[in-house]
Structure 1
């Protein structure tokens, strides 16, 4: 007898966001971290956010600096898988000492909330954190209306700019 997924007990259903412990090797930019995953260096793009592009000075460097302050090489963090992107990167939330790594970046106005991963971010309240930073005119929101959205710049470049 085969059970329909609708009637499987909850404990049988796989975790929608598998978790794994990894070690931080370096922070590449305001949204990408190189981690040691089972002995290999793997690029992890933080899910549900978009950092300013390197061309968006000084905002991109500010986001990178803030992420570097929270993630030091050698830190053990929990990777919560969300997707893979077109660049082959793992898209994930990172949890450091029980705290979401992206949340402070949003609170400080260093990055944008961004759900470009087909609903993979429905369980996190990044939009609220972004609204609070915007209301307080922090970081990227210190400019009237916020700086140009990185995804608009990528689209306008015909994809030549890499997120």
Structure 2
């Protein structure tokens, strides 16, 4: 009787994390979002747990998407669910033939460990993999001061991207973009280090492609 009670107690307090879904990946929306076709021709959108890839339009956004696609597109995957996000997407760890895809993306330098939402015990290991990728300058870590996507989204939410203008002028100086006004400033501008000037660009063309407009008093094309 005592053993039975202990077994029931163990089952109640022990969290169960099991494979929630298996199927074929039919779409890769971005570096951390895929769609899986399971039995019954049901499509389920999956947000990869614990990682955050560059957004589309952000430097390395397309590269991250391409890398994820190279790992999962058209392949049979298993999804272990850890959460459901506010958009109704299943949030989970994806594996292909035993390979942890979330972990591989971080280790290859195409994602950050998602500080705010990566809460499992293995997340500390993922942070270590991120640091190793950064040290080796893999993927996005080959860029100077890459901007975390959660910071990038703060500046682009509810804002539409403007068409990138022609030209590819670059200089040794960097430009600072104001995430609220969507204006970028040169190093000689008095607003260069303003409170909201937290996005760094290394060319006029890069800033414009991100949807920012130049401050004509201090930036000359």
The normalised TM-score by structure 2 is 0.62
Unaligned 5+ residue runs, structure 1?
none
Residue aligned with 1:8, SS: helix
Between 86-95 and 135-144, report the one with greater CA deviation.
135-144
Matched, 1:114 2:108: no
Instruction: Output the CA distance in 1 between the equivalents of 2:66 and 2:6.
Output: 45
Give the root-mean-square deviation of aligned CA atoms.
2.7
Instruction: Output the CA distance in 2 between the equivalents of 1:118 and 1:148.
Output: 19
Instruction: Output the CA distance in 1 between the equivalents of 2:154 and 2:7.
Output: 40
CA contact (8 A) 1:28 1:64 kept: yes
Shift of 1:156: 3.2
CA shift digits 1:78-108 (9 cap, x unpaired): 1000111112111100011001012221122
CA contact (8 A) 1:83 1:117 kept: no
Structure 1 4/149 Cα, relative in aligned 2: closer, same or farther at 3 Å? Answer: farther
Shift of 1:37: 3.5
Instruction: Output the CA distance in 2 between the equivalents of 1:122 and 1:160.
Output: 34
Matched, 1:135 2:135: yes
Structure 1 138/97 Cα, relative in aligned 2: closer, same or farther at 3 Å? Answer: same
Residue aligned with 2:47, SS: strand
Structure 1 8/51 Cα, relative in aligned 2: closer, same or farther at 3 Å? Answer: same
Instruction: Output the CA distance in 1 between the equivalents of 2:141 and 2:15.
Output: 39
- Aligned residue number for residue 217 of structure 2: none
The normalised TM-score by structure 1 is 0.81
Tell which has more relative contact order, 1 or 2 (C-alpha 8 A, sep 6+). Answer: 1
CA contact (8 A) 1:49 1:113 kept: yes
CA contact (8 A) 2:51 2:118 kept: no
CA contact (8 A) 2:80 2:93 kept: yes
Residue correspondences, number: 154
Pick the structure with greater CA Rg: 2
Shift of 1:4: 8.4
- Aligned residue number for residue 55 of structure 1: 57
- Aligned residue number for residue 151 of structure 2: 152
Structure 1 66/160 Cα, relative in aligned 2: closer, same or farther at 3 Å? Answer: same
- Aligned residue number for residue 102 of structure 2: 102
Shift of 1:118: 6.4
